[in-house]
Amino acid sequence: MHKSSGTQRENRSFSEYPRYSPEASDNRRYILLHRTRPKWLKVNRSGLAVANWLDEAKPRKWIERQLVSVHGISERRAAADVSYVVETLKHNGFLGEDVPKPERVPRLKSAYLHITSKCNLSCPQCYTRRSIPESCPHH
């Protein structure tokens, strides 16, 4: 199975969740998250491998040979599977001429949820816009 180095991962047009693990079961599903657009796709382990290889610009015939050797399927079936993944990725904006490759994607380090809207905005590091009405008695 394909494994990317950390440097290669940063320049991909998508990321996967959960991260690929060779120990994972064959029936595990992955979510491909587009790096620059709010899009996602659900794929199986083979679909993830094909997507990774396509993103690295591996030739389709090479990818088909990998599927034949790893899964023991016919060349015709491998060609059909690769074509299906290519069309699905193109249709959903993961492949194509207009898909920008990010040079660097910042990682999400934290998220804040204001479930009750009772924040008093008194923390000195707060970047949240004032969401409490001036007439709030708790302010």
**Is 70 exceeded by the pLDDT of residue 1?**
no
Residues in Cβ contact with 17 at an 8 Å cutoff, skipping those fewer than 6 apart = 30, 31, 33
Confidence of residue 76 (pLDDT cuts 50, 70, 90): very high
Confidence of residue 66 (pLDDT cuts 50, 70, 90): very high
**Is 60 exceeded by the pLDDT of residue 50?**
yes
Closest to 88 (Cα-Cα) out of 44, 138, 24: 44
Q: What's the CATH number for 6-91?
A: 1.10.10
Mean pLDDT of 6-17: 63
Lowest mean pLDDT among 2-6, 21-25, 55-59, 111-115: 2-6
